[in-house]
Amino acid sequence: MKIKINIIIVMILGITVFSNYTFGQCQQLEVDRNNDVNQIGDVDEIRDLQDSLATNFPNICKEVIIGTSVSGYDIVALKFSDNVNVDETEPEILLTFCIHGDENNPEQVAMKLARKLCLDYNSDSQITELINTREIWIIAVMNPDGLRGINWYNRPNANGIDMNRNYGYMWNAEDFDPNEYSEPETKATRDFILSRNFNVMIDYHAGLQGIIYPWYYKGEDCPDNIDIEYLANQYDVISGYPSNEFAVDKGYDLYPTNGALVEFAYGSLGIYAFSVELMLFTNPIYNSCQLLTMNKPAIFMMLKKAGEGIEGVVTDVNSGTGLKAKIEVEGRIPSYSGATNGDYHRYLQAGTYNIKISATGYASQTTTVNVSDNAVTTTDFQLTPNSIYSAQKIITCRNHNNYNDPAKTWKALGKSDGEYYAIGDTGYVVVDMEAPIVDVSGSDITIHGSASGTGNEFEAFYSSTIDGPWTSLGTGSSTTSFDINGAANARYIRIEDNGNGTENILGAGFHLDAVTAGSVSANINTFATKETIKVYPNPTFGVLYFDNIEKLDVKSIKVFNSSGILIKNIEATNSIDFSYLTKGVYFIQFYSKNNISTQKIIKR
C-alpha cells in the first residue's frame, strides 16, 4: 500500500513538473520556515522532487543516494548529463546547498535549477549544450536534519555539529567537533567528492551576499589565486545582482574559518572551490525564483569555464586502462584525473604552462602546453609502469594554523624529491596510498623525512579505512622504513608529530617529504562483477592458468616479484609459464579497460 501511495505521489509530482513546463514559470516553493515549526514538508517535498526528476527525465537525470544523515534522511546527489548512466570524459562540476539548515532559500534555488535543467533540455540551447558536454552534480540538501529543524537551532546536524567546520583539510577543532570528519553527512560528501573528479564546485549559503574563495584558514593567496580570483570576479560581473550589492572576497578576509567543505575540495583535491552567499537576511530579501534568475548566468559561466584550459586522458601505456593520476601545473595545487576514464580537466587562463603527470606505480611525464582564452588544450598521457608507489592525496592535515610556515601539504605526495610539508608541532596528516600496500618480506613502507633531530620525531600509523582505526607502525625522526607485518589492506597512512619541537615557526614539526611503498596491490578498482579470475594451480611449479580472461575483457597482465618489481608485462593470455622463476611470492595483475584485479601467487 505504501508503495502505491509513493507511486501516486511521484505521478502527481510528475504532472506538476510538466504543468510547470507548460506555463514556463518559476514556482514558489518556500514556506516561512523561521516562524513555522511544521517544516517537515520542506525536506520531504524536496526528496519527492528529486525522485520525480530522475523518474521523468531518465535520459539526463540520475539520482544517487550518497549517504544518510544522523536522523536517517537520505543525502541525495542528482547528476545531469547526456548518457547520464555513463561516466564520460566530460568536465564534472559540483553544486552543493544547505550545509547549514537555517539559511532559507539555497535548497529551493537548487531544486528550481535542477528542474530547469530537466525541463529546458532540448529547448534552451545553452542548457542543452551544457548537459551534452558536462556532468553537472547537484546536492540540494547536505544537511537534512538541520533543514528539518531537528536540533535546537537549525544550522548544525542532529549532533549539533556545524558540518562546514568538520572537513579535514586544516581542521582545527572549531565549535564542538570531536574530530575531523566526525559526522555521517561530512563523511558522505567527502567520499562522494573523492570518488569523482570534479574540477569546479560551488557551495551555496545565505546570510551574506557575495562569492568567497580559498584560503579560508589563512590570509595568503592560494597557489591558484590568479584563476580562482578571476572566476570569482566573473561570477560577480555576470550575475544579475545590482552593482555594489555583491562582494568578492577571500574566505580569510571575510572571516577566518577552519574545516570548511570548500577548503577540503581545494586543498586536498585541487578543485576550484567557491562559496556563494545568495542573500542577506535583511533588505532586500529575494525569493528563490529571483535568486535563480540572478545566479543562473554566473552558474552557467562556471559550468562553461570548467571545460576550458587543459584536459585529456591518462592511461596505462600497455592496457589503455584509465589511471587515477595527479595533475600538477607548475606552482599550483595538484588536481586529479577520474578513476573510470583517467580524464582530467582544469581551468587555466591563456598562457604557457609546465605540467607533470604522475600516478602511483608509474613513471611520471612532463610537458609544456599553451592555453588560449575561451578554449581547451587537449593532451593525453600514456604512462609506463614502474615499481615506485607513493601517497597520492592529502585526506587530513592539521598544523594548528601555523601561519609562519607555507604549509605546502602537497609536497608530501609523490616520490621523494627533497621538498616537504612541515606537519606542525603536534600536527598530523593522513595520506591516501590509493590502494592497499602489499606486505612483502622485510620493510613495506618508507616515510621520507628531510631532517632529523629534536623536534622532528613522528609516529606513523596505518589503516584499511579512511577514518581509522589506526594501528601504529612505530616512530622515527628522519627517513624510516616500516614493516606492515601481515596487515591486509593497509591503504591510509597517518603521521603524527610528537610535539617536542617549537610551535609556530617556519618548518615546525616533522618534515614529510614522501610516503612510498615497494608495491601496492592495485591502483584502481577491483573487478566490479561478482565473477573473478580463477588462477590455478596456486601454488604452482610451472604453468599457471587463468579462467575468465575473455569474459572479463582482460587486456593485459603484469607480474611483480615480492619487492614490487615489475618482471613481466604482457598482453592478455590464458596461461603464463612460471617454471623459470625462482621460488617465492609473486603478484599478478589483470587489467581490463576500467578495472585491475590483483592476486597473490606462490611459486614452489
| Binding site residues, Zn ion, CB under 5 A | 100, 205
Cα–Cα distance measured from residue 90 to residue 84, given in angstroms and rounded to the nearest whole number:
11
The helix (run of H) or strand (run of E) holding residue 369 is strand 365-371
Q: What φ, ψ does residue 421 adopt, rounded to 5°?
A: -110, 125
How far from the centroid of its chain's Cα atoms is residue 91's Cα?
14
The amino acid at residue 530 is: K
Distance CA 198, CA 335 (A): 9
For 444-480, the three-class secondary structure string (H helix, E strand, C coil) is CEEEEECCCCCCCCEEEEEECCCCCCCEEEEEECCCE
Looking at beta carbons only, is 288 or 569 nearer to Zn ion?
288
Q: Which is nearer to Zn ion, 205 or 296 (CB)?
A: 205
Which cell numbers hold the place of 166?
568538520
Instruction: Between 33 and 491, name the residue whose CB sits nearer to Zn ion.
Output: 33
Listing DSSP states for 215-270 in one string gives -SSSSSPPTTHHHHHHHHHHHHHHS-SPTTS-EEEEHHHH---SS-HHHHHHHHH-
CB of 162 to Zn ion, least distance (A): 9
Q: Are 576 and 543 in contact (CB under 8 A)?
A: yes
Cβ proximity to Zn ion, 96 vs 319, nearer residue: 96
CA-CA distances (angstroms) from residue 578 to 100, 279, 586? 59, 68, 10
Identity of the residue, 196 or 205, whose beta carbon is nearer to Zn ion in the bound complex:
205
Q: ∠ CA(150), CA(154), CA(159), 5° rounding?
A: 55
* Rounded CA separation 552/531 (Å): 8
Which CB sits closer to Zn ion, 100 or 332? 100
User: From the CB of 108, what's the least distance to Zn ion, in Å?
Assistant: 15
**What is d(CA 272, CA 545) in angstroms, rounded to the nearest whole number?**
48
Cβ nearer to Zn ion, comparing 100 with 112 = 100
- Between residues 144 and 501, which has the closer beta carbon with respect to Zn ion? 144
Distance in Å, CB of 250 to Zn ion, minimum:
17
Nearer to Zn ion, 154 or 399 (CB): 154
Smaller CB distance to Zn ion: residue 165 or 205?
Answer: 205
Tell me the closest approach of the beta carbon of residue 287 to Zn ion, in angstroms.
19
Q: Find the shortest distance in angstroms from Cβ 275 to Zn ion.
A: 8
Cβ atoms of 349 and 230 within 8 Å: the answer is yes
- Minimum Å gap between C-beta 169 and Zn ion is 18
Contact present, 106 and 278 (Cβ < 8 Å):
yes
Query: How many alpha carbons lie under 13 Å from residue 453 in its C-beta half-sphere?
Result: 5
Nearer to Zn ion, 110 or 422 (CB): 110
Helix (H) or strand (E) holding 128: helix 125-133
How far apart (Å, rounded) are the C-alpha atoms in residues 345 and 314?
11
Measured from each CB, the residue nearest to Zn ion is: 205
Give the integer Cα–Cα distance in Å for 162 and 317: 45
CA separation for the pair 568, 584 (Å, rounded): 15
CB nearer to Zn ion: pick between 106 and 455: 106
Q: Which is nearer to Zn ion, 100 or 398 (CB)?
A: 100
Beta carbon of residue 100, minimum distance to Zn ion (angstroms, whole number): 4
Distance CA 588, CA 569 (A): 10
Residue with cell 592535515: 397
Nearest distance in Å: CB 167, Zn ion: 14
Which amino acid, 598? T
At its nearest, how many Å lie between Zn ion and the CB of residue 252?
A: 16
CA distance 185 to 205: 17
- Give the nearer residue to Zn ion in terms of CB position, either 105 or 321: 105
Least distance (Å) between residue 103 CB and Zn ion: 5
**Least gap, CB of 249 to Zn ion (angstroms):** 14
What type of residue sits at position 277? E
Q: What are phi and psi of 150, to 5 degrees?
A: -75, -35
Amino acid at residue number 495:
I
Give bridge partners of residue 398 from the DSSP assignment.
Answer: 428
User: Shortest approach of Zn ion to residue 154 CB, angstroms?
Assistant: 11
